[in-house]
Every structure is written in C-alpha cells, then in structure tokens.
C-alpha cells in the first residue's frame, strides 16, 4: 500500500512528498488543477495549505480535494527516473562536467 508520510509546499504548484518506503521528491501539480474540485487550488493561498491526511495517507486540502497516493508516487518516481537518465552536461572541451577540473 502506497502511503504519503510527509508533504511540504515548495513553490508555485509544486509539492515535496515523502512516502513510507523512503521515496521522496517533488511533483508539479499545475496540470491536475482543472476539474471542479481542483480548480480552487489555483489560488496559491489555498494550494499552500496542503497537508497529509492521517487516515488516508495522501495529500489533502481544506476544500476537500485530495489525490490518490498511487498517482503521486508514480509522478515522483517518473520524475526521478527522468532526472537520473539524463546525459551529463559536457563542458566546452567535450569532457563531462563531473570530471572537468579534476586533472583527468
């Protein structure tokens, strides 16, 4: 069972989440704020009021909106996978930036 254990507002429509298995990361929810229950969350004051429901183990807002923890977990893990699979940036010399300046 997927459980959100911690959530924090980051910026704009981005929240940071931690799950019971230790996975953590940010998710941008702007594209999810289009249905009737989510539209009020475009008000950033309301969006910032995100919290973790103690029984549902997912994020909720005071207007009754909530998102399935499975959806959130998938969004975080996809974002983490994309970040880790990006090629390393190259310096102008063609070397990986991670190695540039290390005498190699």
- Predicted structure pTM score: 0.76
Q: Which fold has domain 1-51+58-64?
A: NE0471 N-terminal domain-like (3.30.2020)
User: How far, CA to CA in Å, does 28 sit from each of 25, 94, 99?
Assistant: 10, 33, 32
- What is the β-pairing status of strands 14-19 and 59-60? unpaired
What is the structure's pLDDT at 81?
73
Q: Which residues of the chain have pLDDT under 70?
A: 83-104
User: How far, CA to CA in Å, does 104 sit from each of 15, 16, 52, 82, 92?
Assistant: 39, 37, 48, 28, 15
């Amino acid at each position: 069972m997927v459980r959100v254990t911690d959530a924090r507002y980051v910026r704009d429509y981005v929240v940071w989440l931690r799950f019971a298995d230790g996975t953590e990361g940010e998710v941008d929810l702007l594209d999810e704020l289009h249905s009737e229950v989510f539209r009020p969350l475009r008000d950033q004051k309301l969006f910032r009021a995100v919290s973790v429901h103690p029984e549902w183990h997912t994020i909720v807002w005071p207007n009754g909106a909530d998102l399935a923890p499975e959806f959130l977990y998938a969004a975080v893990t996809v974002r983490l996978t994309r970040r880790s699979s990006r090629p390393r940036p190259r310096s102008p010399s063609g070397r990986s930036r991670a190695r540039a300046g290390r005498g190699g």
